[in-house]
Structure formats: C-alpha cells, structure tokens
Amino acid sequence: MNDVHALSGAYAVDALDDIERMHFERHLAECAECRHEVDSLREASGILTEAAPVAPPAALRERLLADIATVRPLPPLVQEVPRRSRRFPLLVAAAAAVVAMVGVGGVVAVTQPWEDGSSVPEAGEVVVTPKAVTEVLQAPDAESVTRTFEDGAKATVTRSVSLGQAVIITEGMADPGEGLVYELWLQRDGRMKAAGFMPKGPDNVVLLSGDAATAEAVGITVEPEGGSNTPNFESAVVIDFAKA
C-alpha cells in the first residue's frame, strides 16, 4: 500500500471496503496525525447533512423511545489493561467438550496476502480473492465472535450460515514458535475438523475451509508445521458461535 495516510478521507466517509478499513484502523491506532485528520474530516462531512434535513415520521420517535427504555447504556471505556509482551502465544486453554477429531484429508488453507505478497501459498493451498472474504463479512446473516487473548492479541470469527463460510481475522497474534504453526479447526458435534492454517505473521484474514454453516465453534491450536491429525488440546482456543 503506497500511502496509507491518503485513505483518511475515504475512511471518514465510510468509503473503504472492509479489508481496507481494517488496515486503516490498525494504522489509526498508531498514527495520531491521521486520527486528528479523520476527526476533522468527519466534522466536514457532517456539515453536508445541513443541506437536506427531512423530518422522520413521528411513529419512529415513539418506537425508538420505547426501545431505549429496555436497553441499558454501556459503561464508559475505562483505562485499558496494559498489553503484555507477546512472547508466547495462546492462553488459557478453552478445553470445551472438544473430544475427537475427524478426517483430515485434503485440507486447504485459504489465505489472502493482500498487502505485500509475502506469504506465498504452499502447494495444495487455494488462494481465494478477498471477494469471498468480503462476501462473508458483508453477508446479511454474518455473525461475529471476538476473542481477546491475555497478551492483547485478538481473533474475530465471522460466519455466514447462508454462505456456509467463516472468516477469521487476527490481530497481533504471537509467533507460534520455530517449526510451529497455528492450525484452524471447525467443531461440529463436539468434533474438530481441520480447516486450514494461519499464515505467518500477527495479522491475517483467513477463509476457513469446510462447511461452517453447522459448525459450533472454531478452534485454533498450535501444531508442528504441516499440521496434525488431531488438535493439540493443550494449546486449544475455542471460539464458540453460541456467543455470537
């Protein structure tokens, strides 16, 4: 990406696609100048609404006021927990009722290295355009669960039942270690089925292989490079769709 700063205007008016937005937001977290610029450009775009106000129907006001009576306002954001070093990867084993695992045959890792092409697909991998990812993220029935790890890393799984696919987006994942890899799994009826690998690097977007429509959860484990037949439960993190 040539100049990420130049996206500030498009970001301010929601004119980025999901993946660009994710990237830019990561940049924003580190660039005070862009944050300031985005804020000021949003003031400017807001001005545009002065030109054509339209009174909404009164019934809408009534519905809304009835709604808020049943919804609790969120608490303010308080001081964030300081990030710890990302020396070692995963966290708390989630264990769950992860029992056995079924056939591995023909696992395909599906990744999209959109940025610099640094992660070259290995033999047997299928590279999917971001379009497939975007479709899942934008599906009307998309549901997401985010898991924040002890070291501050984050993994968000978004699934669309109608598309039968799930996407995992990670941020700040620790390196799994020399000769190791993060393997992804889809859990169905308590069993884990291999669903691909995370490429190297802390931040990734991966379309899981396999039918995600009926999956109950996504598992992430640390395995020797090349993957395992059965998940290493010691390292397992399970992200449960029931929490979507």
Partner 1 sequence: MTEPRLTVAGDPQGSPAGGAAPPDLAELLRSSARGDQQAFAQLYDAVASRAYGLVLRVVRDPSQSEEVLQEAMLDVWRQAARFDSDRGSPLSWLLTIVHRKAVDRVRSAQASTRRDTTYHQHNQPVEHDSTAEAAHASMEARRVREALKTLTQVQREALELAYFGGYTHTEVATMLDLPVGTAKTRIRDGLIRLRDTMGVGQ
* Residues making contact with partner 1 (CB under 8 A): 2, 6-10, 12-17, 20, 35, 39-58, 60-65, 67-69, 71-77, 134-135, 138-140, 163
Cβ closest to partner 1, residue 62 vs residue 150: 62
State the Cα–Cα distance between residues 48 and 45, nearest whole angstrom. 5
CB of 126 to partner 1, least distance (A): 20
Question: Do residues 128 and 167 lie in contact, with contact meaning Cβ atoms separated by under 8 Å?
Answer: no
Cβ closest to partner 1, residue 24 vs residue 241: 24
CB of 240 to partner 1, least distance (A): 23
Amino acid (one-letter) located at 218: V
State the Cα–Cα distance between residues 101 and 184, nearest whole angstrom. 12
CB of 112 to partner 1, least distance (A): 16
Q: b/e string for 109-148 if b means 16 or more Cβ within 10 A?
A: bbbbbeeeeebeeeeebeebebeebeebbebeebebbebe
Cβ closest to partner 1, residue 72 vs residue 87: 72
Tell me the backbone φ, ψ of residue 236, rounded to 5 degrees: -70, 135
CB of 72 to partner 1, least distance (A): 8
Cβ closest to partner 1, residue 53 vs residue 82: 53
